[in-house]
A = this chain, B = another copy of it.
């Protein structure tokens, strides 16, 4: 048991960590369809990832495939879920309860992946003191106290872009260990702080450009 825990806390390469949820999503489907075994070749075909890469990624897990049969689907699903921490609750606070912040609080889907947004913070007196889907919204001055109370380690940055760095610094000072940045601003953090940037705006940029260049070619 302690072995499994040690493995699951290993510091994995980020590309591997990014691929594991894809495997989980596919394995979820297989299990729902009562499929018993899956090989890395099958996963490879379905997800368009090199089979040897998949075998390597899955080697970090406490699971072994059988020759010519592959991985037991149920086992693989459970191991991936445990490993990814999607079944464990991780408390998060959100800074900025504007349109995006409120939307994230309302997206109950995040809790299926282990993320519990426990509190929101804002400067707007009209929303401070209210709650959204039972998540209380506090004044930003209460960040440190409330963060401790809820034992939240993850901080979601959903403020206007010109406040992103300031708010990130505040969160780190208040004890936040990982920042999930939804602004297009590149936040700088010191060593030991985890940062993940969403790329919503980058996705839009890519889509618009590709749509535009397709039209040019059709002319």
User: Which residues on A are within 8 Å of B, measured CB to CB?
Assistant: 6, 8-12, 14, 17-22, 24-26, 28-29, 32, 46-48, 84-86, 88, 90, 98-100, 102-104, 106-110, 113-115, 153-154, 161-162, 177-178, 180, 183-186, 188, 192, 194, 196, 198-216
- In the assembly, what is the distance between CA of A98 and CA of B203, in Å? 22
Contacts of A21 in B (CB 8 A): 184, 201-202, 204-205
Check B161–A25 contact: CB distance below 8 A: yes
Check A208–B99 contact: CB distance below 8 A: no
CB distance from A69 to the nearest CB of B (A): 23
- Copies assembled: 2
Check A22–B204 contact: CB distance below 8 A: no
- In the assembly, what is the distance between CA of A210 and CA of B193, in Å? 9
Check A211–B177 contact: CB distance below 8 A: yes
Check A113–B201 contact: CB distance below 8 A: yes
Check A207–B196 contact: CB distance below 8 A: yes
Contacts of A17 in B (CB 8 A): 202, 205-206, 209
Tell which of A110, A198, A203 has the most Cβ of chain B within 10 Å: A203
Check A99–B90 contact: CB distance below 8 A: no
